[in-house]
């Protein structure tokens, strides 16, 4: 079993050496226990490609961070719009106060809860109005049928 590990390590070293990366296993004494693994970049092409990949990863991380910040700003602006719509009107003083409130996450949660409760109430009112309208239409149809039946007799 110990010899198999050394054979695998030697095969790994040989395979990576072909690609320009030198891999060395340091063994502890006479045992086959690996004490450390050392990677040496032999080819400048390999080093350059590793540096380029690292720069690409850093650049993409920056882009993702900016997108997250932008999405967060859109969500905040949407909530501000919905809050202003809930209030019905806004002036400069109220707008300034609203902007100040959005600097703290606790007030964001409170405002979000208020807006969601208001929107739920509006939805319920709309549903009730639609039901009342349907009921009124049904009553009018029945009333028209009754009037037509009296005219026919």
117-135 b/e with 16+ CB inside 10 Å = b? eeeeeeeeeeeeeeeeeee
- Residue 122, in any domain of the structure: yes
Taken as a whole, the chain contains a residue count of 153
- Separation of alpha carbons 137 and 146, rounded Å: 14
User: How sure is the predictor about 133, in pLDDT bands with cuts at 50, 70 and 90?
Assistant: very high
Number of domains in the chain: 2
- Residue 134, in any domain of the structure: no
Query: Is pLDDT at 9 greater than 90 in this prediction?
Result: no
Separation in Å, CA 99 to CA 66, 79, 86, 87, 112: 21, 11, 16, 15, 14
- Residue 151, in any domain of the structure: no
Query: Is pLDDT at 41 greater than 80 in this prediction?
Result: no
The mean pLDDT of 7-23, rounded to a whole number, is: 61
112 and 57 fall within a common domain: yes
109 and 64 fall within a common domain: yes
- Rg over alpha carbons for the chain, rounded to the nearest Å, is 36
49 and 102 fall within a common domain: yes
Q: Using one digit for the tens of pLDDT, what is the confidence trace for 82-102?
A: 888 888 888 888 888 888 888
32 and 103 fall within a common domain: no
- Residue 152, in any domain of the structure: no
107 and 60 fall within a common domain: yes
Report pLDDT for 50: 85
38 and 85 fall within a common domain: no
The mean pLDDT of 111-121, rounded to a whole number, is: 91
- Residue 153, in any domain of the structure: no
Report pLDDT for 48: 87
Residue 84 structural domain? 43-127
- Collect all residues with Cβ–Cβ distance below 8 Å to 83 and sequence separation of at least 6: 98, 111, 114, 115
Report pLDDT for 91: 86
Model pTM? 0.53
101 and 119 fall within a common domain: yes
118 and 84 fall within a common domain: yes
Report pLDDT for 35: 56
């Amino acid at each position: 079993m110990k010899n198999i590990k050394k054979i695998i390590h030697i095969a790994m070293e040989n395979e990576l050496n072909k690609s320009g990366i030198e891999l060395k296993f340091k063994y502890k004494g006479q045992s086959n226990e690996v004490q450390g693994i050392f990677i040496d970049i032999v080819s400048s092409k390999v080093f350059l490609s590793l540096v380029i990949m690292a720069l690409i990863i850093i650049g993409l991380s920056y882009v993702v961070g900016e997108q997250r910040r932008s999405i967060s700003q859109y969500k905040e602006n949407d909530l501000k719009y919905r809050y202003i719509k809930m209030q019905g009107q806004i002036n400069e003083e109220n707008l300034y106060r609203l902007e100040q409130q959005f600097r703290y996450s606790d007030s964001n949660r409170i405002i979000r809860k208020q807006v969601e409760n208001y929107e739920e109430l509006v939805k319920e009112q709309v549903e009730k109005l639609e039901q009342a309208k349907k009921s009124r239409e049904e009553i009018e149809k029945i009333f028209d049928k009754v009037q037509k039946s009296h005219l026919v007799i």
